[in-house]
Amino acid sequence: MADDDAIRTSLEALIFAAAGPATVAQLRRALPRLAPAEIGEHVKQINEELVRDGRPYEIVEAAGGYRFRTRPEFGDLILSAQPERRTRLSRPALETVSVIAYRQPITRAEIEELRCVDCGAVLKSLLDRHLIRIVGRRDAPGRPVLYGTSANFLETFGLKSLRDLPELREIVDLYEEHGTPIAEAEAEEDSADDLEPDEEGPVDVEAGARPEIELGADPADGAAAGGDPRVEEGGGGEEAEAPKA
């Protein structure tokens, strides 16, 4: 029992000190005798202890690793003290990041073909927020840039991996369950253009509860954009595998 307590204390320290989500590989470098399944079990026991002690935070799986996060019920309290943590995304930004999430890797031209509008400014805004990244270039004339979602996208939306994205059929069923036809819901979302503009800068997900995703007017929407948005530093890499819809 004493050994288990020491292991759980060590895991807490490693997860707390990690700059981002602590992966199983990182944790096992410090605790090589632990199997991946054992790490998950210890984290579960840590969370049970935190609940018993009435602590306002927990350990969650996000973006392929473990991290501390304040409990959802404290979200309003944290936002009242740190209103800048609220994440506002316009309807065009939400549509664009959704297309990228389900179709990645995808080029700007393919996104614009699906949305039937210019997406250059919206893509730049999503890059600035670190919700998407450059994952490579397509082997085609002009070698167009390929976009994919980032680890910050997974953290912001509370996903362990892209496999946790809901299937498109589930989204349609959700609308139907609440008696809201898709066309009607889209018409209501058009009113988002009148909401307060969002603030510049990346989404902050490190300091506490998961930010609230809220519709609002994106300053990039409607702006003229020429050419592909800038490549985020360090954004290169292999093409991402899109989840099956």
Q: Amino acid letter at 171? A: I
Is the confidence at residue 36, as pLDDT, over 50?
yes
User: Residue 146 to residues 106, 110, 172: CA-CA distances in angstroms?
Assistant: 5, 10, 28
DSSP3 helix / strand / coil % (the chain, rounded to 5): 45, 15, 40
Which domains are present in the chain? 2-70 (1.10.10.10), 86-215 (1.10.10.10)
Query: What is the pTM assigned to this prediction?
Result: 0.55
Distance, in Å, from the CA atom of 102 to the CA atom of 165, rounded to the nearest integer, reads 8
Q: What is the pLDDT of residue 145?
A: 94
The pLDDT score that the predictor gives to residue 135 is 94
Percent of the chain with pLDDT over 90: 37
Q: Report residue 63's pLDDT band, with 50, 70 and 90 as the boundaries.
A: confident
